[in-house]
Amino acid sequence: MPNWPFRFVHAGDLHLEMPPGGIDHVPEHLRLLFVDAAYAAAERVFATALTEEADFLVLAGDVLDSQQTGPRGPLFLVEQFSRLDQRGIPVYWAGGKVDPPDAWPATIRLPDNVHIFPSGRIEEFVVRREATAIARIIGISRSENHGIRPSDFVPDPAGVFSIAVAHGSADADALRGRGIHYWALGGNHRRQTLFHSPHVAHCPGTPQGRSPRETGSHACTVVHVSDQRSVRLTAASTDGLRWHTEQVTVEDSTTRTQLERMLDQRAAALKDTIPGADVMVSWRILGSGALAAQLRHGNLAVELLETLRKRHGLGPPAVWSVALVAEPPAALDPEIYEQDSILGDFLREARRYQTNAGEEIDLEGYLPAPSPAGAMLPALAISDRSARQRVLREAAVLGIDLLSGEEPQP
Ligand SMILES: [Mn+2]
């Protein structure tokens, strides 16, 4: 059945109450950026609805915890909703974990274009253009005791394009079987499309990364529905603060000066590859050699961080170096195991424990005083196989770093 083409914006997990974090120290000049990041990203969601001339905006839960934001959260949203209201763009909002419908402060009036789905039962709205129904939006706010129940959602008997809005996890196959044209999901902070054919289930993720682990671009989604009802998704970037991990490999022969130049060039390049955002970069240094050893144990990592921060971290836009960590190499050069030296002896001993998984490592003898019976023994036994391998690999690398006797190069 042919349809009017239309488009809408789908966003979720705005979490206005949650500023980015997860780092030891936010410098003075970036504090406002952190405090405002969730709001700035949310504002870009509303701006996207305006610039795309969207027919409507769908919010799939966890927009704000109004207890935690205080009045700033609701007042900000009323202002943004009003901007859309002036352009005749309705908002359909299903509550998630932190924003059940009754959490909205009673004293703050929502503009008329905002429709909040109730919890506990499905409600539906029909969007019309020139008296023709172009979309039917069915939704529910999350209830505490259960996630999404796909069977709650029924496609339109007359065949109008049906959009289901809900927050929480759901089995993709169960959703697929319902015949709903588009599942507008929320709850996963990472952007994800569960399926794309013939129908679509999509979660746009949070518009702003909150920690060094949430790297990469964050966005809301513009959903284009053609007259043939094919669905195309485009991401509209929303994060003004971007988390990024940059890997740099050093060779045995790399000097400090060479590494400094490499870091400097990479930091400068990030300004171009990630335009329009302040970048929080975590450096991972891979490789082996004296310089890598020095990075793992000396002050060098701290000194390099300070230089990077001074040269690139001030902005705007800032490329702020969050951390600089040298990773132990995954595999060691087999030749050093054959050395006739203290290091060789040490490595062969470590390898013996690595290959004989059954052989217990006696760590108790290294304790300063006899351990209280039982209390620490389970931890000392390193019973977990992968933990044991990791400890032995780190011990081998530490041995190489400290026993190889190579002078670090200037
Ligand atoms: Mn959430």
The alpha carbon of 354 and the centre of ligand 1 are apart by a number of angstroms equal to 42
Distance CA 103, CA 16 (A): 14
> Region 174-198: what's the mean pLDDT?
94
The alpha carbon of 62 and the centre of ligand 1 are apart by a number of angstroms equal to 5
The alpha carbon of 225 and the centre of ligand 1 are apart by a number of angstroms equal to 26
The alpha carbon of 196 and the centre of ligand 1 are apart by a number of angstroms equal to 23
Residue with tokens 């921060």: 309
User: Is 203 buried (19+), middle (13-18) or exposed (0-12) by CB count in 10 A?
Assistant: buried
174: phi then psi, degrees, rounded to nearest 5: -65, -35
Mean pLDDT of the chain: 90
pLDDT at 104: 95
Of 183, 125, 128, residue with least CA distance to 153 = 183
SS3 content of the chain, % helix, strand, coil (to 5): 35, 25, 45
The better pLDDT of the pair 270, 3 is held by 270
Q: For residue 98, what are the CA distances in angstroms to 54, 104, 112, 143? A: 26, 11, 22, 11
* Spatial CB neighbours of 375, under 8 Å, sequence gap ≥ 6: none
Distance CA 48, CA 46 (A): 5
Kindly report, residue by residue over 82-109, the tens digit of the pLDDT.
999 999 999 999 999 999 999 999 999 9
The alpha carbon of 187 and the centre of ligand 1 are apart by a number of angstroms equal to 5
53-62, 160-169, 204-213, 351-360: least confidently modelled range: 351-360
The alpha carbon of 15 and the centre of ligand 1 are apart by a number of angstroms equal to 7
Contact 285, 327 (CB under 8 A): yes
Distance CA 63, CA 78 (A): 13
pLDDT band at 409 (very low <50, low <70, confident <90, very high): very low
The DSSP result for 131-155, as a single string, is: TEEEEEEEE-BPBTTB---GGG---
**CA dihedral (260, 264, 267, 273) positive or negative:** negative
Kindly report, residue by residue over 385-403, the tens digit of the pLDDT.
788 887 888 888 888 878 8
Q: Which amino acid is present at 53?
A: E
Residue-range domains of the chain with CATH? 6-237 (3.60.21.10), 241-326 (no CATH), 334-403 (no CATH)
The alpha carbon of 322 and the centre of ligand 1 are apart by a number of angstroms equal to 25
pTM of structure? 0.84
Residue with tokens 């927009």: 63
Kindly report, residue by residue over 289-333, the tens digit of the pLDDT.
888 888 888 789 999 999 999 999 997 899 999 999 988 776 777
The alpha carbon of 13 and the centre of ligand 1 are apart by a number of angstroms equal to 5
Q: What is the end-to-end Cα distance of the chain in Å, rounded?
A: 73
User: Is 329 buried (19+), middle (13-18) or exposed (0-12) by CB count in 10 A?
Assistant: middle
